[in-house]
């Protein structure tokens, strides 16, 4: 009887220590509305239109994509060139399905450029691929 109680106690203790397996990450499908798929579209367009095109607003910055996120919020960062761990000047992240976008950081502190960044991100998230002109 005592051995059974000890065995039961050990079984219950082990069951309490068992961690639940993480949810498998679902792969995005091209054109779907998931946060990951949306941020993939935004990242490709941002790289082409802002960073490679020499947009003056992004001079001295590089894009640091963080698309594989355990938080469920894939994002891209605009960080100082040569200091990828530095404070981002712009963060664009998405969550949920359909994706909800959020952009913040010093580049979003008002003005015409912040409006242009928001318009670009919204257009790219919807599947558009055109680049806007700097103001």
Confidence of residue 135 (pLDDT cuts 50, 70, 90): low
pLDDT at 18 over 70: no
Please tell me what DSSP assigns to residue 1: -
* Residue 30 or residue 79, greater confidence: 79
Q: How many residues does the chain have?
A: 135
- Residue spans per domain, the chain: 30-125
What is the per-residue pLDDT across 58-85, written as a single tens digit (0 to 9) for each?
999 999 999 987 788 999 999 999 988 8
Q: Of all helices (H) and strands (E), which one includes residue 122?
A: helix 111-125
Strands (DSSP E) contained in 6-81 are 61-66, 75-80
């Amino acid at each position: 009887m005592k051995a059974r109680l000890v065995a039961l106690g050990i079984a219950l203790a082990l069951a309490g220590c068992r961690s639940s397996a993480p949810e498998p990450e679902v792969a995005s499908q091209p054109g779907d509305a998931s946060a990951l798929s949306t941020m993939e579209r935004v990242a490709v367009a941002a790289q082409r239109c802002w960073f490679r095109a020499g947009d003056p607003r992004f001079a001295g910055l590089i894009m640091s994509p963080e698309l594989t996120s355990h938080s469920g919020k894939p994002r891209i960062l605009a960080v100082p060139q040569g200091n990828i761990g530095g404070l981002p000047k712009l963060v664009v992240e998405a969550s949920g399905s359909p994706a909800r976008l959020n952009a913040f950081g010093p580049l979003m502190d008002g003005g015409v450029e912040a409006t242009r960044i928001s318009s670009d991100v919204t257009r790219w998230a919807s599947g558009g691929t055109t680049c806007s002109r700097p103001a």
